[in-house]
Amino acid sequence: MAKGGSGNGNRGGQVNSEIVVVEDSSSPYFLHNGDHPGLNLVLNLLTGPNYHTWRRAMLMALTAKNKVGFVDGTISRPMSHDLIYGAWNRCNSMISSWIINAVSREIADSLLYLDSACDIWKDLNDRFNQGNGPRIFQIKKQLSALNQGSLDVNSYFTKLKILWDELREFQPVPIRGQILMMDPLPAINKVFSLVIQEERHRTVGYSYSGSHNSDPMTFGSNSNAPAGSSGGSKTRRDRITCSHCGFQGHTKDK
């Protein structure tokens, strides 16, 4: 009888512990009365090309509900005998339903057999998350093609601002920030390689800027210098200017 009584007491303690966690509104395991599997957290469904804006909207909604830990892996799946397993399982199923409700029908069908909200989130990221380079190109292309047309000023500006804001999110960060964001931190040889690459990129940029700003028709002491130019030693003011094209270093008849 003592043994049976002890078992009932442990079971009661487990139930009480789970109730405390579930009913604590500050706990990520807490579910509000208004939370249900058919809840729509965002207005626009994920179709693929809108992944980045969709992801940002979903993270805002999940943060407001204190559930981000279930999709970023912070709150991992407990063992089946753990006291909190039941609460985790309910929350995981609820969040999985929210994500599936927020994507298009074609995408939703491919997510039904994934076990956790974290697996679903990772699968969507692997499929639709593009590198910065291609996405920056797409945004700039959309910006260049965007015109007001029949839109009113407010609608046109809203579309323009969305593209501007997303482009700002993709702007490259300094090399130091890129290194510090790596997890785990890279070896010193890798850091050295990254710094060398950054230095080369900057050198190429400066070289291009210098050549772009210089006079394309400037001549040095070579055989192609126009007659009477004394090897290109004359000042810019004294150079010959073509009356046809406006460039210096030659005349219209030459």
pLDDT at 223: 43
Cα dist. 195→39, 50, 174, 188, 215 in Å?
47, 33, 10, 11, 32
CA atoms within 13 A on the CB side of 163: 18
Is the pLDDT confidence value at 54 over 90? yes
Is the pLDDT confidence value at 99 over 80? yes
Closest CA to 69 of 128, 104, 127, 26: 26
Q: How far apart are CA 54 and CA 94, in angstroms?
A: 19
Is the pLDDT confidence value at 237 over 50? no
Q: What region does 235 belong to: left with phi over 0, alpha with psi -120 to 50, or beta?
A: beta
Q: Report which listed range, 85-89, 226-230, 240-244, is most confident.
A: 85-89
Is the pLDDT confidence value at 235 over 80? no
Is the pLDDT confidence value at 152 over 60? yes
What is the mean pLDDT of the segment spanning 161-190?
70
Query: At 104, is the pLDDT very low, low, confident or very high (cuts 50, 70, 90)?
Result: very high
Is the pLDDT confidence value at 25 over 70? yes
Query: At 216, is the pLDDT very low, low, confident or very high (cuts 50, 70, 90)?
Result: very low
Q: Is 70 exposed, middle or buried (0-12, 13-18, 19+ CB in 10 A)?
A: buried
Q: What region does 187 belong to: left with phi over 0, alpha with psi -120 to 50, or beta?
A: beta
Q: For the chain, how long is the longest CA-to-CA vector?
A: 118
The answer to which of 22-36, 149-163, 184-198 has the lowest mean pLDDT is 184-198
Q: Is the dihedral of CA 98, 102, 103, 109 positive or negative?
A: positive
What is the mean pLDDT of the segment spanning 207-212?
50
- Percent of the chain topping pLDDT 70: 63
pLDDT at 191: 72
166 contacts: CB under 8 Å, gap ≥ 6: 52, 53, 139
pLDDT at 66: 95
Query: At 173, is the pLDDT very low, low, confident or very high (cuts 50, 70, 90)?
Result: low
pLDDT at 211: 52
Query: At 148, is the pLDDT very low, low, confident or very high (cuts 50, 70, 90)?
Result: confident
Q: Is the dihedral of CA 128, 133, 136, 142 positive or negative?
A: negative
pLDDT at 252: 63
What is the mean pLDDT of the segment spanning 224-245?
53
Q: Do the Cβ atoms of 118 and 73 come closer than 8 Å?
A: yes
pLDDT at 247: 64
pLDDT at 248: 67
What is the mean pLDDT of the segment spanning 96-115?
94
